[in-house]
A and B are shown apart, each in its own frame.
Chain A
Amino acid sequence: MNLLQVTRSALLTLRTQKLRTFLTLFGMVWGTASVVFLLSWGLGIERMIEAGFGRVGRNVVTVFAGKIGEDFTPAHDRRQLWFTRADVGALAGRLEHADLVLGEARGWYPVTAGQGMLSRDVRGVEPRHMALRGTRMAAGRAISQADLNSRRRVAVLGDGARKRLLGPRGRIGDTIHILGTPYSVIGFFARVGTQLARDFDEVDEQVWIPITTLLATGPRYGTDHEVIDLIALRARDRSEFDALVEEVRAILARRLSVSPGDKEAIIVVSPIQALRNVPLGQIRGLLFILAAATLVIGGIGILNMMLDAVQERSQEIGVRLAVGARRRDVVGQFFLETLVVTAVGGLAGLSLGVASCWALSRLQVPDVVPVPILQPWIVWLALGVMSAVGFASGVVPAWRASRVEPSITLRTE
């Protein structure tokens, strides 16, 4: 029995009962396609979530000052803590696990423009903030060091802020008023997209001005210090997050005279932390189990069909034994036939899965809708699971074939 004959025999088994074959192979096709599609889709979900968390700034860690968290003082009596630009200076250059340390001042300020007045998240920034937040210019220029040095009244608008404040006719050079003071619009950011993590408003809705200009608008929190609202750091790597938090707490706690473990005094917020709480591994595992279960059901369909085939072909088994076949020849034949049948359905399903992933990945969808991302390992895994299922479904019919009594079979007609 050569492979060609086995293959032809398998295809004939498929051809003799077209409806049964269609239904059986459908299970296998569907199962394999599910493995490919669901795993790719799961990967798409992971990418979407990571991208969504990354839009606040990749590996950004923001630190806020709160109130000393002592049990025996009533909350309203506790002193509000704050950071100054001097604290940022103290951190800069002393952190092993961050490559960027910036102070940011901000507030919800009334902004007046052609469209009317809106309360906006206004950020006082310096040039390096663009690298930290990952913003790109769509038009105009960015805030420069010269703007900071001269405390210029210039503003860069996020994509959403531009639309809301200036409308479709907004241009570079338009004037907006922040807290009643005129600012010249010097640039627009490209759209960042939907954020799964954010501090205050989304980047797209923000208005950026030089931090020096913002601090010059007047005394903040009733002091003359250069009080800032948050310290933004960029971790060198996601894995260094915990170490970074520890060194930041150690330095800031000494400067604020609080305990390093005081989580009410020094508040650390990061998308890295938030992302950790998303059970990506479990999502991936769940999708894999779902897909593999579908494939196993497909395999049971094939097993059933091959058992029928053994029954129908008991005469053939008898003849083969009569002309000198050993038991293991017959077993091997049915086993191989099952593998061929599985391969037919499995490869069809693989193509279907790959094709559907490819088609969907070319669709234009909103950035919160995951699209499947196909990777070679998914195809290999699908092939592996498929082979395992084919193997398992082949064992039972083959075993049954080995037990057929030849003498009985030669009489059955």
Chain B
Amino acid sequence: MSTAVVELACVGKTYASGRVHVEALRGVDLRIAEGELLAIMGPSGSGKTTLMEILGCLLQPTTGEYRFRGRPIHTIPPDGLARLRGEEIGFVFQSFNLLPRLTAAENVELPLGYRGVGRRERRERSLAALGRVGLGGRTRHLPSELSGGERQRVAIARALINRPSFILADEPTGNLDTRTGAEIMELLDGLNAEGTTVVMVTHDPHLGEHAKRCLYIRDGRVHDHPEEGDPR
């Protein structure tokens, strides 16, 4: 058995808003091995995004334990978590989440800035990353001047810039047409082929077909097999 990147043991997450408590996740056990291409599928409201944010160390679980490469994350101080997010994890979001005020190149080099990488090296690496996703000619454009597919490529270039070993993609093709979506998937496939662990959260069955392993999430619980009504 290969080394585990992620181990969740009995993880739960409860949101308290006023007097209403919402249980987004209940007792999730999950193990993701190095080099996996995993799809987590589920309808909206099933707890997908919450799971994703816990995996990305943006959110602390209410119950249970999360180990990232063997380290329980609740023992890591906030600055350490920030470094973990910056160096080991790459995020790709459904809505791209590019900063509208920064150019494509500046968006891509954002994670490097927080690691204290020098200006010249930042620029070189961001141009290289943009070249890799096929956007070498549009580095000075603002996100509003790019198409949906181009924006998602910028977001992927940003996720790649620190050469993370773990990529989290939340509906990476959700806002894209079929052809562009396929191109983005090819990019993710390619990364996985190079050894990067990729976890996608989606409700798109086509995306699931790309994955080596599929998990299904319903009402905050994770299952190995689809049930009636699950996307297949």
Give A residues with C-beta under 8 Å from B: 1-2, 5, 8-9, 12, 315-316, 318-327, 329, 406-407, 410-411, 413
A410 to B49, CA, bound (A): 9
Q: List 9 A-B contacts (CB under 8 A).
A: A2-B119, A318-B58, A324-B83, A324-B115, A329-B114, A406-B53, A407-B58, A410-B58, A410-B93
Which residue of A is nearest B83, CB measured? Answer: A324
Residues of A within 8 A of B72 (CB): none
**B82 and chain A: residue at smallest CB distance:** A326
Bound-state CA distance A323–B98 (Å) is 11
Within 8 A of A (CB), among B20-40: none
Other 11 A-B pairs with CB < 8 A, given A324-B115, A325-B82:
A1-B113, A320-B110, A321-B82, A322-B97, A323-B85, A323-B91, A323-B114, A323-B158, A326-B114, A327-B82, A407-B59
**Docked CA distance A189–B99 (Å):** 75
In the complex, residue of chain A having the shortest beta-carbon distance to the beta carbon of B158:
A323
Q: Which of A320, A326, A413 lies at the interface centre, i.e. has the most chain B CB atoms within 10 A of its CB?
A: A326
Interface bin, chain B: 20 to 34
Q: Does B95 contact A (CB under 8 A)?
A: yes
Q: Mark B90-109, 1 if CB is under 8 A from A, else 0.
A: 01010101110110001000
Residue among B59, B79, B101 making CB contact with A8, cutoff 8 Å: B101
B86 located at the interface, meaning its Cβ lies under 8 Å from any Cβ of chain A in the complex = yes
Q: Does B87 contact A (CB under 8 A)?
A: yes
Given the known interface contacts A2-B119, A329-B114, the answer about A410 and B83 at a Cβ–Cβ threshold of 8 Å is no
- A324 near B87 with CB under 8 A, answer yes
* Complex contact B85–A324 (CB within 8 A): yes
Asked if B78 is an interface residue, CB under 8 A from chain A, the answer is yes
Query: Is B220 an interface residue when CB atoms closer than 8 A count as contact?
Result: no
User: Are A324 and B106 in touch, CB under 8 angstroms?
Assistant: no
Tell me which residues across on chain B come within 8 A of A413, comparing CB atoms: 95
Contact A407 B50 (CB under 8 A): yes
Q: Nearest residue in A to B50 (C-beta to C-beta)? A: A407
Q: Is the CB of A316 within 8 A of B99?
A: yes
B56 within 8 A of A: yes
Report if B208 contacts A (CB, 8 A): no
Q: Select one of A319, A321, A324, A329 contacting B99, CB under 8 A.
A: A319
Q: Is B111 an interface residue (CB 8 A)?
A: yes
- Tell whether, in the assembled complex, residue A327 and residue B58 are in contact, meaning their CB atoms are under 8 Å apart: no
From B50, B53, B102, B114, give the contact of A325 (CB < 8 A). Answer: B114
Q: Which residues of A contact B58 (CB under 8 A)?
A: 318, 321-322, 406-407, 410
How far apart sit A18 and B29, CA to CA, in the bound complex (Å)? 51
Which B residues are in CB contact (< 8 Å) with A319? 97-99, 110
